[in-house]
Amino acid sequence: MQPWWPRFIVKPRVRLTRPRFGMPTRPPDIILFGILFVVVLFVLGGNIYTLVRTPPAIAGGQGGTPILISPGIDSQLGMEGIVASVVIMIGTMGLGLVYYGSKYVFQPGYATRLMVLGVILAGAAFLIFSYLWGIKTGLI
């Protein structure tokens, strides 16, 4: 039996299926680690305290000069929290390099370079924190 339409019009044989909706896949571990790392740096830098207390971003001294580190341990400026977070990140990277360098037992030159760089970064972070603590307590 012949269809009533012309032969050059072809009836498509398309099978429509129902779209599948599923749960999104889990993000990669490195992205989760990065987000968690930034959150921990934010908290350890004292930025929660800065947000709650809402001090001025930059305080002014007697002569109008900006004060970037507030004297006294009961106050903190916005820049201090950011600097503390960056210094903590540098120290963590240094300790991470020391750990990473310990995995290269059979490449002692590379392991030594990584460990020395890690110790330098961790030591620099410690010295910067000691200097900042001295400024805050008035010892320096």
| Tens of pLDDT, residues 65-111 | 777 777 777 777 777 888 888 898 899 999 999 999 988 889 999 99
pLDDT score for 58: 60
| Tens of pLDDT, residues 28-58 | 888 888 899 889 888 888 878 777 876 555 6
pLDDT score for 60: 67
- Residue 36 CB partners (closer than 8 Å, separation 6+): none
Please answer whether residues 111 and 98 qualify as being in contact, where contact means their C-beta atoms are separated by less than 8 angstroms: no
Written as six digits, the tokens of 47 are 């930025």
**CA 5, CA 38: separation in Å to the nearest integer?**
67
pTM: 0.67
- Residue 117 CB partners (closer than 8 Å, separation 6+): 94, 97
